[in-house]
């Protein structure tokens, strides 16, 4: 290349870069725009849902009955609430804050306003700002009405109740919302939000932080703090949420465009509260609480130390699958026969069929030990094997111990080409080895239909026939 051409090239490049900067979207230099997702529910439905779920949560988890700690958390919470941008405020919502006496670094908020902050989260945070960051994130899910927005989306698949809770009848339609939650309110917080919703909650959370006088980067800092204290494997806020490295960067990027109003940085109260919490005996994890029966009347008793002697539920109370089957019909999509002593439990765009005792919860997620999960997911590829690979790696993200124990086998699913693969896993709730069989096929619209069968390794022989029968009975209506 001669000198003249190099010069031309350089000029050309400089021009290109100038053009690129000129045409860059304005948002690159400003706050990210956040808006509501489609939602068929009324804000009053959010309130009803949340109220029911809160009642159930308080039956399941022990509240910390310490008026000083509660008043403090309530104060920080209300400061965040008044800092919610006006377009995301709802006069119907009533925000309140309670502390759960559990050690997991976690917090959850329910539609319409109730929020539960774990004692472990307060103890892990290094500053009030870090604690407020987690609360602002959870608050944002509520303000953006993510619970009912996700339910609206699920309704399109005719699997509405899925989001609203695990188990129970599907009444359908926004009018049924209040009735649905009657039996399954607590399931509301079992839901996992999509990555998109999580990013929005981070970004709105950062804005709320700045408005409330906190450094929005403290929300990002909390991820590091959690990782330093046992990492994402410890369950809780990180494991319920997608990849923390990206979130850390994204929040810090957004923070550049936020002005902190009336900044206050005074951690004296926070330190005093932490000191007070150190005076309590070790808290159980949420999984331990649920394993031990998890029924908390939550009355009287100002000191939680004697909460450890709840009777343990026998671990193996799982009924054998009945040899009689009943038909379950998901009218728009499929029909399947399942043992008549199994329940169906909705979860996202999927339904679980499981025996009584075949599921429990760990870190606020429903965890199945026995049963079959049928669901639909979107993948980037229309090639069955690639789509299945994609699906398996998304499963693996949530289940770090999941390992293939076979190669793909060709099979037929409802008369269509399918793939099956057997995997091993360690169950999150029980810690026991389990077998996870995954079968996939494609729907006419290109989406991937999957059937996941789970049982403990030691029980596998008792379930294999049942799984086969269920798979053989499947009919697709798409
Ligand atoms: Zn979240």
Q: How far is the CA of 203 from the centre of ligand 1 (A)?
A: 11
| 101-114 pLDDT per residue, tens | 999 888 888 899 99
- Average pLDDT of the segment spanning 182-196: 49
Mean pLDDT of 25-45: 79
Q: What is the mean pLDDT of residues 232-259?
A: 74
Whether the Cβ atoms of residue 448 and residue 413 lie closer than 8 Å to each other: no
**pLDDT band for position 29 (50/70/90)?**
low
pLDDT of 263 reads 87
Determine the distance separating the centroid of ligand 1 and the alpha carbon of 118, expressed in angstroms.
Answer: 15
> 314-324 pLDDT, tens per residue?
334 677 788 88
- The percentage of residues in the chain with a pLDDT greater than 70, rounded to a whole number, is 74
Tell me what pLDDT residue 17 has. Answer: 52
Q: How far is the CA of 425 from the centre of ligand 1 (A)?
A: 25
Rounded distance between C-alpha atoms, residue 251 and residue 220, angstroms: 6
Q: What is the pLDDT of residues 79-91, one digit of tens each?
A: 999 999 999 999 9
Per-residue confidence band for 267, with pLDDT thresholds at 50, 70 and 90: very high
Q: How far is the CA of 392 from the centre of ligand 1 (A)?
A: 23
**How far apart are the C-alpha atoms of 10 and 179, rounded to whole Å?**
68
Interval between CA 194 and ligand 1 midpoint (Å): 9
**pLDDT computed for residue 11 by the predictor:** 60
Average pLDDT over residues 341-361: 74
Distance 35 CA to ligand 1 centre (A): 16
Q: What is the pLDDT of residue 240?
A: 57
Helix 67-81 and helix 268-278: axis angle, to 10°?
140
Q: Which region among 22-31, 43-52, 225-234, 390-399 has the lowest average model confidence (pLDDT)?
A: 22-31
- Report the mean per-residue pLDDT for the chain: 77
In the prediction, which pLDDT does 24 show?
44
Distance CA(14)–CA(21), nearest Å, equals: 11
pLDDT for 154: 63
pTM score? 0.56
pLDDT of residue 135: 96
Q: Name the most confidently modeled range: 31-35, 192-196, 298-302, 454-458.
A: 31-35
Q: How far is the CA of 283 from the centre of ligand 1 (A)?
A: 23
- Centre of ligand 1 from the C-alpha of residue 318, in Å: 32
Rounded distance from Cα 130 to ligand 1 centre (Å):
15
For residue 363, report the distance from its CA to the centre of ligand 1, in Å: 13
Distance, CA 226 to ligand 1 centroid (Å)? Answer: 15
470 CA to centre of ligand 1 in angstroms: 35
What's the gap in Å between 417 CA and the centre of ligand 1?
37
Question: Residue 39 pLDDT more than 50?
Answer: yes
Q: Report the range out of 26-30, 169-173, 281-285, 376-380 with the highest average pLDDT.
A: 281-285
* Neighbouring-strand partners of residue 426: 433
327-331 contacts at long range (C-beta below 8 A, 24 or more positions apart): 328/353, 330/158, 330/159, 331/158, 331/477
* pLDDT (tens digit per residue) in 412-423: 888 888 988 888
CA distance 130 to 205: 12
Q: Residue 110 CB: number of other CB atoms within 10 A?
A: 26
């Amino acid at each position: 290349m001669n000198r003249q051409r190099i010069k031309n090239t350089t000029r050309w490049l400089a021009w290109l870069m100038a053009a690129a900067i000129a045409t860059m979207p304005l948002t690159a230099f400003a706050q990210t725009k956040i808006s509501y997702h489609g939602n068929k529910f009324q804000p009053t439905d959010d309130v009803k849902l949340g109220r029911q779920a809160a009642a159930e949560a308080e039956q399941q988890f022990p509240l910390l009955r310490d008026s000083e700690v509660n008043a403090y958390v309530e104060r920080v919470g209300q400061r965040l609430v008044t800092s919610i941008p006006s377009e995301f405020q709802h006069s119907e919502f009533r925000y309140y804050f309670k502390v759960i006496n559990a050690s997991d670094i976690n917090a959850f908020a329910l539609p319409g306003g109730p929020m539960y902050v774990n004692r472990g989260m307060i103890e892990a945070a290094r500053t009030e700002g870090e604690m407020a960051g987690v609360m602002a994130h959870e608050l944002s899910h509520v303000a953006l009405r993510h619970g009912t927005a996700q339910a609206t989306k699920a309704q399109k698949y005719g699997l509405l109740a899925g989001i609203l809770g695990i188990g129970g009848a599907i009444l359908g339609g926004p009018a049924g919302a209040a009735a649905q939650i009657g039996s399954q309110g607590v399931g509301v917080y079992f839901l996992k939000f999509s990555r998109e919703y999580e990013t929005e909650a981070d970004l709105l959370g950062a804005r709320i932080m700045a408005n409330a006088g906190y450094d929005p980067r403290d929300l990002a800092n909390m991820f590091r703090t959690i990782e330093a204290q046992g990492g994402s494997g410890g369950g809780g806020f990180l494991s319920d949420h997608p990849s923390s490295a990206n979130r850390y960067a994204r929040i810090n990027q957004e923070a550049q465009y936020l002005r902190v109003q009336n900044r206050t940085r005074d951690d004296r109260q926070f330190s005093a509260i932490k000191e007070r919490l150190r005076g309590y005996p070790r808290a159980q994890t949420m999984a331990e609480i649920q394993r031990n029966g998890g029924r908390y009347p939550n009355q009287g008793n100002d000191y939680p130390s004697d909460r450890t002697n709840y009777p343990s539920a026998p671990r193996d109370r799982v009924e054998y699958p009945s040899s009689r089957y009943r038909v379950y019909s998901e009218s728009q999509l499929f029909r399947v026969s399942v043992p008549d002593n199994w329940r169906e439990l909705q979860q996202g765009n999927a339904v679980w069929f499981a025996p009584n005792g075949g599921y429990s919860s760990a870190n606020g997620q429903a965890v199945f030990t026995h049963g079959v999960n049928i669901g639909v997911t979107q993948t980037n590829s229309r090639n069955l094997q690639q789509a299945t690979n994609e699906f398996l790696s998304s499963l693996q993200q949530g289940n770090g111990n999941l390992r293939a124990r076979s190669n793909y086998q060709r099979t037929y699913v409802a008369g269509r080409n399918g793939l099956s693969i057997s995997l091993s896993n360690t169950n999150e709730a029980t810690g026991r080895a389990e077998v996870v069989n995954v079968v996939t096929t494609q729907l006419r619209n290109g989406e991937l239909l999957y059937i996941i069968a789970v049982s403990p390794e030691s029980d596998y022989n008792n379930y294999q026939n049942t799984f086969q029968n269920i798979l053989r009975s499947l009919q697709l209506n798409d």
